[in-house]
Amino acid sequence: MVSVEKSPAWFEKTLEDIRSLKVQGAEEIARAGVVAAARLVAERRDVDAGVKALLATRPTEPMLRNALAAFRRAVKLSTPVEAARKVLRHLDDADGRIAAYAADLITPGHFYYTHCHSGTVVKAFLEARALGAKFAVRNTETRPLYQGRKTAAELAAAGIPVVHVVDSAARVALKGCAAVFFGADALLADGTVVNKIGSEMVAELARNRSIPVYVLANSWKYDARDASAFKTSLEHRDPAEVWDSPPKGVRVVNEAFELVNPKLITGIITEYGVRDPRSAILEIQRHHSWLADDG
């Protein structure tokens, strides 16, 4: 772990909350990182070391890296509070636009499928419901940490019916679904999407049933690497999350993320609209050339 010299207890707690997934989801992690960086600046602490420590908690998530880069650019021209607010406003505005674009794809009377937990996907479903669409969602539990339960709870609290299934029931649960909606941890330069393990399996099953697959992601999730360069960075979490005391001779592998082939993706929905993977990446590069530079 990268540490911050004489770092305060609140900062160490932020780092641990991110590592332990108490704070989860690329956008929520980015928000927490920006708020922490702003406080470090305000307290006149070692911001460079602080940013390194924050990035070390989630080295495979470009949104944290890009949000912190945006903050550091903004803070040169304003106060820490104003710079943080500028970054957070981008996140809020992008969320609203993405939710609106996705809601247009949700037709009343159908089932929609999602995997793991994506705050962006949840917001899209809530937007569609607020506009009057009555639909239902099928989602997977997402072992070993069951992030799918959070998705199910949030949707159910908003009055959206949810059918919650074990991961191995994905093929059965997809039957009759009108579309699949995923979040993303990264959007790579070749159109590949990085998301929770199991995502490509679901995408392949959906393709076999001619079910469209949409990825909802803020443009700041862009990473200038392609799939071959990113592959070695995929996170493996503690095997004990899967099996805390396996018998001798059993090696537990706990892969957290995987690459989703862009050929399996119908469209990537960013704040710039719904586009095929390659067009979505070109649009991001056109609007945010600095992401590649700072990333």
Within 217-266, strands assigned E span 222-223, 257-260
Q: 91 near 85, Cβ under 8 Å? A: no
CB atoms within 10 A of CB 172: 10
- Sorted by where each begins, the domain ranges of the chain are 9-92, 96-294
d(CA 13, CA 59): 18
Active site residue 276: no
Q: Which member of 48, 185, 190, 223 is catalytic?
A: 185
Per-residue 3-state assignment (H helix, E strand, C coil) for 131-162: CCCCCEEEEECCCCCCHHHHHHHHHHHCCCCE
Residue located via tokens 């949840």: 122
Q: Tell me the whole-structure pTM to 2 decimals.
A: 0.90
Angle made by CA atoms 197, 203, 209, in degrees to the nearest 5: 145
CATH number at 96-294: 3.40.50.10470
CB 110 within 8 A of CB 135: yes
pLDDT of residue 204: 98
State the alpha helices, DSSP H only, in 20-79: 26-42, 47-57, 62-75
Taking alpha carbons only, the member of 6, 78, 87 closest to residue 40 is: 6
* Measured distance CA(197)–CA(254) in Å, rounded: 9
CA dihedral of residues 260, 223, 255, 3 (deg, nearest 10)? -170
Per-residue confidence in pLDDT tens, the chain, 295 aa:
444 456 789 999 999 999 888 898 889 999 999 999 999 999 999 999 999 999 999 887 899 999 999 999 999 999 999 999 999 999 999 999 999 999 999 999 999 999 999 999 999 999 999 999 999 999 999 999 999 999 999 999 999 999 999 999 999 999 999 999 999 999 999 999 999 999 999 999 999 999 999 999 999 999 999 999 888 788 899 999 999 999 999 999 999 999 999 999 999 999 999 999 999 999 999 987 766 444 3
Structure tokens at 126: 């809530």
Answer whether 9-92 and 96-294 agree in fold: no
Contacts of 174 (CB under 8 A, 6+ apart): 113, 138, 180, 202, 205, 206, 209, 211
59 upstream amide cis, omega within 30 of 0? no
Please tell me the CATH code under which domain 9-92 is placed. 1.20.120.420
Q: Is 44 left (phi over 0), alpha (psi -120 to 50) or beta?
A: left
Residue 259 token pair:
């690459």
